[in-house]
Amino acid sequence: MTDEETWGPRPLPDVSPETERYWAAASEGTLLLSYCSACDLYIYHPRARCPDCFEETEWAESSGDGTVYSFSVAERMEGWPEEDLPLVVAYVELDEGPRVMTNIVGCDPDEIAIDDSVSAVFRQTEEDDVAVPVFQPS
């Protein structure tokens, strides 16, 4: 699912050779995870070697679905765009397992609760091949 809103002027990720594909997939509306077939483990944040066994990982598509594990609503944040406050910083537990840090968007912060179902949406940055996954109530 794509989102009409864009990411800027929020901080841009540093794209490395190891994570290039993750950000590029996001710009095409797909949330990627690293997957270790030896451990049957979905890994976040993505990395080339499994942090459990050091075998090479492969890329796996996440459903983008999960539930809110926890969240905090920032009323003020120095250095953050005013128009983006209050900001909901959250951990979402993906259906595949990993707890990923993100933002919850598209709803009133007062209406969010732990265990709510959410799904990924993607916000395009000024770079064509870099989009950032965030989550909204599903």
Partner 1 sequence: MSEPVYIAGAFEHPTREAPEKSTMQIHAEVAAGALDDAGVSKDAVDAYFTAGVPEMEHALTPLMATDYLGLDVDYADTTDYGGSSYVSHVGHAASAIRDGKCDVALITLAGRPRSRGQATGSGTRELRTVQDSFERIYGATNVTMYGMAARRHMHEHGTTSEQLAEIRAAASHHAQYNENAMYQDPVSVEEVVDSPVVADPLHLLDCCVISDGGGALLVVSEDVRAELSRDCVEVLGHGESPKHHDAGRIDITATGAVESGKQAFAEAGLGPEHVEYASIYDSFTITVLEAIEDLGFCAKGEGGKFVEGGTLRADGDLPFNTDGGGLCSNHPGNRGGMTKVIEAVRQLRGEANPEVQTDADVALAHGTGGSIATRHGAATLLLGTEGSA
Task: Give the separation between CA 121 and CA 8, rounded to whole angstroms.
Answer: 15
Residues 102-121 that bind partner 1 (CB under 8 A): 102-103, 109, 114
Asked if 77 is part of the footprint of partner 1 (rule: CB under 8 A), the reply reads: yes
Closest CA to 114 of 129, 84, 93: 93
Q: H or E element: which one contains 42?
A: strand 41-43
Asked if 136 is part of the footprint of partner 1 (rule: CB under 8 A), the reply reads: no
Asked if 8 is part of the footprint of partner 1 (rule: CB under 8 A), the reply reads: no
Asked if 40 is part of the footprint of partner 1 (rule: CB under 8 A), the reply reads: no
Phi and psi torsions of 110, nearest 5°? -70, -15
Binding residues for partner 1 (CB under 8 A): 10-16, 19, 41-45, 51-52, 69-80, 87, 89-91, 94, 97-103, 109, 114, 132, 134
